[in-house]
Amino acid sequence: MSRWQIIRDGHAVAWDVIPGDTHTDDIEMAGFGCAQVVTYGMTEDGFLLEHHPVFPTLRTRPNNTHASYQMAIPADHLPRLTAGGEMLAETLLRAELDGTLYLETTAADGTLKMAHRCYPSAQKRLCFERITVRNTSCVPVSLDITAPDRVLGRDMGPMGINLIEYSTDFAPVTLMPGAEYTYSIAISGRVANEGIPTEDADDALRDRRETVCRLTEPMQLDTGNQTLDTMFRFAKLRAGESIFDTRFGYGKLHAPGGFSYYAATWCNDQVEYAGPYFAYTGDPVLLDAAMNAYRMYIPFMCDAYLPIPSSVIAEGVDFWNGAGDRGDAAMYLYGASRYALTTGNRDIAEELLGAIEWCAEYCERQKNAAGVIASDADELENRFPAGDANLCTSTLTYAGLLGLAALERAFGCEDKAALFEARADALAAAIEAHFGYALHGMETYRYYDGCEKLRSWICMPLCVGLYGRTRGTVDALCSEYLMKPDGFLTEEGSVTIWDRSTLYALRGIFASGETETALDLLLRYSTNRLLGERVPYAVEAYPEGGRRQLSGESALYCKVITEGLLCMIPTGLHSFTIKPTLPQGLDHLYLRNIRAHGASFDVLLEREGWRVVRADGTVLGEGTNGVMGEITV
């Protein structure tokens, strides 16, 4: 039985604590001014609740990728409740996650019940813990709090002295039987010459709930499977919330999070993963953050065709390229072309077209003698070998060239469209000739020349519509060499699982038509991530990464539905293809309020077939399960 259960029609998950059980977890939440990581649970020493705020616009030295000012705050560094002059010992009864963290506890002697709710400010460098105390005894109880030093952290940074402080609105009170008292603790970050950020805790909670609603309103998924629908809802939240204000004119930036990655953008997480997903939401904040990420790479594109950096960091004032060329131009070519097409916004497409063309030319210049695209590494940044030319870089280039051809056609440039389509065709043939390979008797792909081990990224051809080796590739992914209960091993014989390649694999298996296999894997994965021991989001990797719940992986989870199960691929600013197949394990699949290609529409998939219906009721297209259709909105 899973530790967590779905409640409130899929809007939350809950853990009812069994007496004597010990378990801890953490959850990251974010607003424009801060990220708030809260660790909670029960240990052998009792109730655990610790805060770890991160302030991306407060920088440390050296001002590098990891320089967001942050600190882990031990519980005794914040005010703690006392009852009758004695420190209160609490026992956790229940935890709920609904975009906030809600914890119900009881005093050891049973006289008091407490409710803690933790959440970040939507706008400011503030995060909150809101506490309600109820007297369940038959006698009055006097309440007070401890008074630790108000300043929690004081450190020199490149912009001045960084300060982390707490404040509280608590006032000593005698709580009568049956009565309640609510107070809050706010943790703030600032530079020394700034005023302390302030906000009413109740107003901040209302704004946080509005943020959760805003991010989960687009693309309402209804499959009749509560686990799948709820996991999708949580994935939309995690993918969309990790956006932070920056200075120096770069505006809001989406970032992975996970203690390390803020106020910066990456060619894989933001450009390749998140941007194309954001284009389906129509959300102005998400679209703005995606555009800012794409814009930040354009100054690095020059006539000498030097590699673009892997990451633009520190609020846009520096870059990181420690792994060399990871195929970053291919990531940009793929992500930016799909983003531009899916938004349906001609101005956006025109602004990005030159950069996308530059990336196509850069990739063309990286072709080796075999006709595939060379790169120094891949997104795993030399953690695992990738040879001189890897399968990811070439397949992303292939799909990006097709996206660019569609963009050129949207602007009436037929000659350019034909050129890029011809390059894509030639690259597809080269991918088959160079990477097509038999391993363990299965006709699949080798990840690079000389690679004799199966890799999870052999899924990539399936993700971009190259289905010539579908059977062998699906068999290889699902074999004892790669598939584990938690996902797919990065490389056979290793112990490392990266959710990003697992989610790409699920997407590719769905898109290739192996629907029943894919659904079984997706449900198992979703149950584990949503309701297991590390919840409620996709993770980065483990053992490496400590199962950090980075935001880009949640965007990839959403794309399992849009680009995998529904197989939606943009073909123009106002058109896309769709090839949905309803698995036997689902009665239906409705994806409502998709905001893409300049319109709002629903995809309705039932056993009898599929329909795409615009918001005004117009049926834009319909067809048979497993048969592709072209939709113009």
Q: What is the 3-state secondary structure (H, E, C) of 491-544?
A: ECCCCCEEHHHHHHHHHHHHHCCCHHHHHHHHHHHHHHHHHCCCCCCCCCEECH
CA distance linking residue 205 with residue 203, whole number of Å? 5
pLDDT of 278-337, one tens digit each?
Answer: 999 999 999 999 999 999 999 999 999 999 999 999 999 999 999 999 999 999 999 999
Which amino acid does the sequence have at 457?
W
Q: Residues 20, 44: contact at Cβ < 8 Å?
A: no
The whole-angstrom distance between residue 358's C-alpha and the CA centroid of its chain comes to 27
Given a cut of 80, whether residue 222 has pLDDT beyond it is: yes
Q: Residues 507, 560: contact at Cβ < 8 Å?
A: yes
> H or E stretch including 399?
helix 391-410
User: How much of the chain, in percent, has pLDDT values that exceed 90?
Assistant: 98
CA distance linking residue 47 with residue 252, whole number of Å? 37
Mean residue pLDDT of the chain comes to: 97
CA distance linking residue 348 with residue 596, whole number of Å? 13
Q: Which residues, 6 or more positions from 368, have their beta carbon under 8 angstroms from its beta carbon?
A: 374, 388, 389
| Amino acid 546: pLDDT | 81
| Secondary structure class of 263 (helix, strand, coil) | coil
Closest CA to 455 of 508, 391, 518, 499: 391
Mean pLDDT of 582-590: 97
Which residues are 87's β-sheet partners? Answer: 82
Crossing angle, helix 284-297 and helix 346-365, to 10 degrees?
40
pLDDT of 542-572, one tens digit each?
Answer: 888 789 999 999 999 999 999 999 999 999 9
User: How much of the chain, in percent, has pLDDT values that exceed 70?
Assistant: 100
Alpha helix positions (H), 170-283? 201-216, 226-241, 275-278
Residue by residue, DSSP assigns 78-129 as: S--EEETTEEPPEEEEEEEESSSEEEEEEETTSSEEEEEEEEE-SSSSEEEE
The whole-angstrom distance between residue 185's C-alpha and the CA centroid of its chain comes to 28
Strands, DSSP E only, in 223-306?
A: 243-245, 252-254, 265-266
| Amino acid 113: pLDDT | 98
Q: Which residues, 6 or more positions from 240, have their beta carbon under 8 angstroms from its beta carbon?
A: 215, 278, 281, 283, 285, 286, 551
CA distance linking residue 420 with residue 398, whole number of Å? 9
| Amino acid 486: pLDDT | 86
pLDDT of 490-539, one tens digit each?
Answer: 999 999 999 999 999 999 999 999 999 999 999 999 999 999 999 999 99
CA distance linking residue 133 with residue 106, whole number of Å? 9
pLDDT of 334-382, one tens digit each?
Answer: 999 999 999 999 999 999 999 999 999 999 999 999 999 999 999 999 9
Q: Residues 360, 333: contact at Cβ < 8 Å?
A: yes
Given a cut of 80, whether residue 237 has pLDDT beyond it is: yes
| Amino acid 358: pLDDT | 99
| Amino acid 390: pLDDT | 98
Taking the model in full, what pTM does it have? 0.98
pLDDT of 114-164, one tens digit each?
Answer: 999 999 999 999 999 999 999 999 999 999 999 999 999 999 999 999 999
Q: Which residues, 6 or more positions from 369, have their beta carbon under 8 angstroms from its beta carbon?
A: none
CA distance linking residue 410 with residue 572, whole number of Å? 6
Q: Residues 284, 341: contact at Cβ < 8 Å?
A: no
Place of tokens 């004119």: 249
Q: Which two tokens stand for residue 163?
A: 């300060």
> Around Cβ 622, how many Cβ atoms within 10 Å?
14
CA distance linking residue 359 with residue 357, whole number of Å? 5
Closest CA to 458 of 484, 432, 426: 432
Q: What number of CA atoms fall less than 13 Å from residue 243's CA on the CB side?
A: 28
| Amino acid 544: pLDDT | 81
Q: Which two tokens stand for residue 200?
A: 């009413």
Given a cut of 90, whether residue 1 has pLDDT beyond it is: no
Q: Residues 56, 125: contact at Cβ < 8 Å?
A: no
